[in-house]
Amino acid sequence: MVYVFGIYNRHNAIYILEILRLDANKAFTGKEKKLDYSLYPLGDTAVVVCFGQTIDETTHSKVKILAHYLETKPFAGFIDMVPAFTSITIFYDPICCLESTSKLKGQVRTPYQVVCQIIDETIARMDLDSMLINASRIIEIPVCYGEVYGPDLDFVAKYNKLNLDEVVAIHSEGQYLVYMLGFAPGFPYLGGMSTQIATPRKSSPRPVIPAGSVGIAGQQTGVYSIETPGGWQIIGRTPLKLFQPSLATPSLLRVGDQIRFIPISDKEFKHLEEGQA
Amino acid sequence: MSIRILRAGLLSTIQDLGRLGYQQYGVIAGGAMDTLAHRLANILVGNREQEASLEITMLGPALQFNETRLVAICGADLNPSIDGVTVPLWKPVLIKEGSVLSFKRSTKGCRAYIAVAGGFDLPVVLGSRSTYLRAGIGGIKGRALKDGDLLKLGIPGQEVLRLLQRSTLNIKQFISLPWGIAPSILPSYESNLPVRIIAGKEAPLFTAESWKSFLNTSYKITYQSDRMGYRLEGVKLGLREPVELISEAVSFGTVQVPPDGSPIVLMVDSQTTGGYPRIAHIASVDLTLVAQAQPGDCIDFRKISLEEAQKLYIEREKQIKQLSLASTLQIGREV
């Protein structure tokens, strides 16, 4: 069953479809009540919850669910978290966690042991059936491909023995999952690019890549959220700002979002860019 | 209500204890490199520990005070003076309006923190005033201090205001108050640092030889080092067999090893995620020492258990809490 409602907001140049998907096959079957995971420390103030060694949507949905749960019901001593491809790292305050020891049965433990117990209890308590509602946003990113915005589009086409239109078609027909945000604020690690347009990184990086640049590096595709040096093959640019420090949620994209790239003209690009300013 | 920057110094930035809660968006926590020195400076002037301070590096600035203020300088000795007279570190100091606080070059250690009672009147970005240079946010317009900048100051608390009113009648340019951090507990910044680590997740992936070298030989900090990370030089470290790791979180203190075998210590401005094998993680209590290390200094890694690391952490926090209480009492008494 799929429930769909759409919100088109042309003025903000962001097209968003919210899809609530009740999909038993996506996350867990009703029978799989026990979640498989391992815990290990990252230094003395963080712990990693690892759900597996394969990058796929099923494993990632477990990451998303725990992240969502922690965000809405953080435990005493919870400081921050970083969801990744197959794991989620939780930063905690050892002092705060130790203070909550008195509430737990058993002997005195280290802060790490206390946090592990809290995580075990949290995961056990998560109502897996209700978690089957796997809310996923679809974000459309307008991109002006080639010309001045995509200086490496020619190279990508030649390397893969395609013409320019074919590269644009393949790139924009894909639907990509945001597995993780890292490298820079708002920078998405996307999964799902077609191998037909996979192209190795540039042998020497550019000292400056404009923010909004859409690139390919090996089998990955992504969008530079801030101006940085970089070695990706740049095939286009979006006028959208992926990093918005003045907002409470400073990233346009979030872990778990589905991304579509929409080809636009230079004229539309300039129009949308003005709207963003 | 301000400080005029006559000379900015090598790298002077506004820092506090960082942005917490935004790492999932790729926004680093960041903040002061030497959190211990930063916190103690704030404690000495009666500020909250999270209050912003001015982090100065190796070659310090020259600051003109447009108002009489209670100040503390903690960390490395960058030779602060006012009109040729040395200003002590690790103590609260009353600096009179019009004075110029001048720094030179550090010899031991490389970073110091200048806390001013009342903090700095600068915009808060994502919950913090820390300067995130790469993204250009926080601090003064997301950048380091420049010559000519005017740094606006916040308003001190009641206790400190009363102290200021009472004490500034007779001072010429500055006077240090009769208390400070006890010399016996002050850190010592040497060029050979013993640094305690706990084994990283990927430690078992390294050869036995490499693990032995890592713990028994010194690693030198190269000039390719900054607030994001320190590149080390020493016996190269190798994996038992090549491995393709899935990127996940790293943090301040993670020691990662790229394919070339030379370890990198990730520092406070490092990215939130990485894909290189993590051989070790520096115990939180020793991050303050590493933050004061300079290119040319040598690190000797020593392995401890996670349990020991957390015990040390708890002891340090107890100590800081005691200092905080003592400082509050002293400021109250002085009024």
pLDDT band of A34, cuts 50, 70, 90: low
Question: What pLDDT shows up at residue A112?
Answer: 96
Q: Phi then psi for B74, rounded to 5 degrees? A: -130, 150
Q: Angle at which helices B306-334 and B35-44 pack, to 10 degrees?
A: 20
- Which of chain A's residues have a Cβ under 8 Å away from the Cβ of B28? 185
Distance from CA of A163 to the nearest CA of B (A): 33
Question: What pLDDT shows up at residue A233?
Answer: 95
pLDDT digits (tens, 9 = 90+) for A204-249: 888 899 999 999 998 889 999 999 888 899 999 999 999 999 999 9
Which residue(s) pair with B100 in the sheet? B64
Distance from CA of residue A48 to its chain's centroid?
18
Residue B26 to residue A85, Cβ atoms within 8 A: no
- Which of chain A's residues have a Cβ under 8 Å away from the Cβ of B250? 42
Indicate whether A31 pLDDT > 50. Answer: no
Of residues B33 and A15, more confidence is placed in B33
Question: What pLDDT shows up at residue B89?
Answer: 97
Q: In this structure, is the dihedral angle defined by the CA atoms of residues A155, A156, A160 and A161, taken in order, positive or negative?
A: negative
Distance from CA of B44 to the nearest CA of A (A): 23
DSSP A1: -
Mean pLDDT along residues A75-101:
91
Question: What pLDDT shows up at residue A104?
Answer: 54
Q: What is the pTM of this model?
A: 0.91
Of B24, B134, B310, the CB nearest to A110: B310
Of B22, B249, B307, the CB nearest to A42: B249
- DSSP letter string, B36-60: HHHHHHHHHTT--TTS-EEEEESB-
Asked if B35 contacts B286 with a C-beta cutoff of 8 angstroms, the reply is: no
Residues of B with CB under 8 A from a CB of A: 20-29, 125-126, 134-137, 198, 201, 246-251, 253-254, 271-273, 278, 281-284, 306-307, 309-311, 313-314, 317
Helix (H) or strand (E) holding A96: helix A94-99
Question: What pLDDT shows up at residue A18?
Answer: 38
Mean pLDDT along residues A81-91:
97
Residue A80 to residue B23, Cβ atoms within 8 A: yes
Question: What pLDDT shows up at residue A20?
Answer: 37
Question: What pLDDT shows up at residue A28?
Answer: 39
Question: What pLDDT shows up at residue B171?
Answer: 80
Distance from CA of A82 to the nearest CA of B (A): 5
Distance from CA of A1 to the nearest CA of B (A): 30
Indicate whether A271 pLDDT > 70. Answer: yes
- Which of chain A's residues have a Cβ under 8 Å away from the Cβ of B135? 184-185, 226, 243, 245
Q: Cα–Cα distance between B291 and A135 in angstroms, integer?
A: 42
Question: What pLDDT shows up at residue A127?
Answer: 64
Of residues A63 and A15, more confidence is placed in A63
Of B22, B136, B254, the CB nearest to A43: B254
Sort B33 into a burial class: Cβ within 10 Å, 0-12 / 13-18 / 19+: buried
pLDDT band of A135, cuts 50, 70, 90: low
Residue A87 to residue B248, Cβ atoms within 8 A: yes
SS3 state at B111:
strand
Residue B26 to residue A181, Cβ atoms within 8 A: yes
DSSP A185: T
Burial B63-74 (b: 16+ CB within 10 A, else e): bbbbebbbbbbb
**Per residue of chain B (335 residues), what is the pLDDT tens digit?**
999 999 999 999 999 999 999 999 999 999 999 999 999 999 999 999 999 999 999 999 999 999 999 999 999 999 999 999 999 999 999 999 999 999 999 989 999 999 999 999 999 999 999 999 999 999 999 999 999 999 999 999 988 888 888 776 678 899 999 999 998 888 899 999 999 999 999 999 999 999 999 999 999 999 999 999 999 999 999 999 988 888 899 999 999 999 999 999 999 999 999 989 999 999 999 999 999 999 999 999 999 999 999 999 999 999 999 999 999 999 888 75
Strands of the sheet containing B69-75, edge to edge, are: B13-15, B53-57, B111-116, B69-75, B92-95, B174-176
- Which of chain B's residues have a Cβ under 8 Å away from the Cβ of A67? 24
Question: What pLDDT shows up at residue A1?
Answer: 34
Give the number of beta-carbon pairs within 8 Å between A and B: 141
Q: What is the ipTM of this complex?
A: 0.95
CA angle A204, A209, A215 (to 5 degrees): 80
Q: In this structure, is the dihedral angle defined by the CA atoms of residues B260, B266, B271 and B272, taken in order, positive or negative?
A: positive
pLDDT band of A67, cuts 50, 70, 90: very high
